[in-house]
Amino acid sequence: MSDEEQLVYGVPAHTIVDALRGAGVAEDDVIAVLGRAIARQSGPGLTTTVTPPFVFQTNVPQQAPQCELHFEPTFTHPDFVDGVTVVQAGETPTELGFNHRFHAIEADLAAVADALRTVSNCMKELRLELFGVVQELQVKITAIDHRIDPLKDKAETKETKEKEKEKDDKESKEKEGKDGKEKEGKESKDKEDKERGKDGRKEFVDLAGTAAPGSPPPASDQPEGDERTFISLADRPEVGRDALAGEDG
């Protein structure tokens, strides 16, 4: 992608064109869609910000040819046979001699040392590269945390307020329910006390008004257990009797 290529909401224009054409959109429609997108992003107060990808500054190559090992042993010792093999220091056409054999062993040991040195250096270099990558990750993650922390604090504050509100509402409902029960109990008790007399018995309601002379005493003056709810013939006022007597005469 060239530096001068048009970006549409951060996406290269040719990518959008290829996607639309691949979806079977007509060429005129492709031009219209792309033109509207460019016009909208170029409108007043609209700017396109493309966030560059995060790239590690520490270079960690996928392969390191200098760290490859190619050690192959060069010395092979044939078994000696007692009384048959000639043992000598120098080399002859038929015998290598101890000097040659020992130098071959020294060469193999030197090659092993070089291989170990290469491995050690490569591990050291890889450790340094890994340390650099970790440091870059630490800086990047710290920057992300600094952007996330205010959002997290805001969310926690909102959650705390919601929990406090729920708690207050619950306490308020419990208090209202408790007060309602106490009020209901008090009203019920007052009503019951009102229905009962001062001595704790229910008051007798004189349906006929003021009792006539000679009528039984009010229910409140009678002994407990003698209350009567209905008026008998003997309890009727004298006025009622006189009226009945006049009708009979």
Comparing CA positions, the residue from 67, 29, 45, 59 lying closest to residue 128 is: 59
Last residue of a domain, one of 139, 157, 175: 157
For residue 164, is it within any domain? no
Around Cβ 80, how many Cβ atoms within 10 Å? 10
Can you tell me the distance from the alpha carbon of 97 to that of 120, in angstroms, rounded to the nearest whole number? 35
* Residues 4-61: tens digit of each pLDDT: 566 776 677 778 888 888 888 888 887 888 777 777 766 555 455 555 677 788 888 8
Number of domains in the chain: 3
For residue 178, is it within any domain? no
Tell me the two tokens of residue 101.
């054999």
Around Cβ 8, how many Cβ atoms within 10 Å? 19
Average pLDDT over residues 61-73: 88
Do residues 152 and 96 both lie within one domain? yes
* Residues 218-238: tens digit of each pLDDT: 555 555 555 555 556 566 666
Query: What is the span of the domain harbouring residue 224?
Result: 197-249
Do residues 144 and 76 both lie within one domain? yes
Three-point CA angle 46, 49, 54, nearest 5°? 170
For residue 111, is it within any domain? yes
